[in-house]
A and B are shown apart, each in its own frame.
Chain A
Amino acid sequence: MDKTTHFGYKQVAESEKAAKVAEVFHSVAAQYDIMNDLMSAGLHRLWKRFAVAQAGLRPGMRVLDVAGGTADLTRLFLKEVGDTGTVLLTDINFSMLREGRDRMLNVGKMPPTVQCDGERLPFPDNYFDCVSVAFGLRNMTHKDQALAEMHRVLKPGGRLLVLEFSKVWKPLEPAYDLYSFKLLPLMGKLVAQDADSYQYLAESIRMHPGQEELKTLMEAAGFAKVSYHNLTAGVAALHKGFKV
């Protein structure tokens, strides 16, 4: 029998999760940025800028943006690595990737764009100076395998940045739950005409490992000096680890 995994609060066969996640993101791709701004009151832009500031990038470096979707991070990374550097935009979902690629073209940039699974990266070992995954890890079926792949493609000394929703500060939990499970699906319904997908987003955030659990997962995947920084009282957290 096929192993099961969570899809939001539901249990589904592991083999079905990727298709179900793909369905969600096909559905929200066109409205993804507007919804992100609405959902986070624009904070996701600050979180992403913070993540890029922690990347320690310099001109000429090679960066992999896993689950890069609408290319928010790719655009910021490109400014850091300059014309001599490379940023590879990847996503498993074609609709999201197309949005990202089109957005980059609209600002006159054409980074290499690859549709691929974060759990099976089609890149050589020890290749990137920095790998990032922003709001993508929680949708992956085998997070340990994805982290191991990111570790494999990083050069020794390279760093992984994981920006992801996390466990909010305890006193704020009731307000955050109300927002996530009542307001978020309502906004999804009104703006993106898709309440179910946003219900999934809220549920998947709750099912994602908390700060310490993710840190342990990263250490188990071989990363050293793993640290994290809570953003907006833990609504999101940036984890950073190094390949030694």
Chain B
Amino acid sequence: MIPEALIERSLNHLLQQTPGAAEALIRHAGASVRFDLTMAEFDFRIADDGCFSEAAVDVPDAIIRPTPALMARLPFFGHEALRHADYSGDPALLATLDRVFKQLDWDVEADLAPVVGDIAAHRLHALGRDVLAGIAHTAAALGHNASEYVVEEAEMMARAIDVARFNREVDALADDVARLDARLRLLETRQSEQDAQARSA
């Protein structure tokens, strides 16, 4: 009950903040959309005003499956991450949803302004954006450092280039073995022919 209401309110809030987003969905009013998060499914119907409304749906018109990997990437890659979700159903509806989701943008400043005032909202938003960017940068740097340590210093894992070279060498060895095998079979055939001729002579 809580996740559905939260998703519904959040999505509708974003739709109302993004010019043209709800209007784009109005032509699909009545269509149903399922967000399939593997562990849970959330069904919504597009209402007459273009907003999402929680609904009881047997067979939805479109299904969106944001994979766990996508959910983990969402905070860092935003709209780009959504490209990796699985979509199925009505192509026209999916095309509209894809376009709308790409447009969605949370105007944090507008939401904060009534609570803390315009100036504080602007500064808090800037601070939040910097902090998030800092966290993302730090996470990327730590990840890079960790991979460098594991690959270069501890040599617990091979570099991609080394794996590729190893694969190439294995392929070359397999080819050599195949050629040798063919050569041996040829020699064996010749030998058995010579043995047959010697016996008949």
A-to-B contact residues, CB < 8 Å: 53-54, 56, 58, 60, 157, 159, 224-225, 227-229, 238, 240, 242, 244
Contacts and interface: CB of A to CB of B under 8 A. Distances in A.
Scoring A58, A238, A240 by chain B CB atoms within 10 A of each residue's CB, the highest score goes to: A58
Given A56-B12, A242-B55, A242-B56, 4 more contacts: A53-B9, A157-B55, A229-B1, A244-B55
A60 B49 CA distance: 9
30 contacts: A53-B5, A53-B9, A54-B1, A54-B2, A54-B5, A56-B5, A56-B8, A56-B9, A56-B12, A56-B53, A56-B54, A58-B12, A58-B47, A58-B51, A60-B49, A157-B45, A157-B53, A157-B55, A159-B54, A224-B56, A225-B55, A225-B56, A227-B1, A228-B1, A229-B1, A229-B2, A240-B1, A242-B55, A244-B55, A244-B56
B54 A242 contact: yes
B93 to A, nearest CB: 17
A54 B55 CA distance: 12
B12 A238 contact: no
Chain B, interface SS category: mixed
Contacts of B43: 225
Interface of B: 1-2, 5, 8-9, 12, 43, 45, 47, 49, 51, 53-56
A124 B200 CA distance: 109
B54 to A, nearest CB: 6
B145 to A, nearest CB: 43
Contacts of B2: 54, 229
Contacts of A58: 12, 47, 49, 51
Contacts of A238: 1
Contacts of B9: 53, 56
Contacts of B49: 58, 60
Nearest to B5: A54
What are the 10 closest A-B residue pairs judged by CB atoms, nearest first?
A: A225-B56, A224-B56, A242-B56, A229-B1, A54-B5, A227-B1, A244-B56, A56-B8, A58-B51, A56-B54
Count chain A CB atoms within 10 A of each CB in B8, B45, B49, B54 and give the residue with the most: B54
A60 B48 CA distance: 11
A132 to B, nearest CB: 14
A12 B105 CA distance: 59
Contacts of A225: 43, 55-56
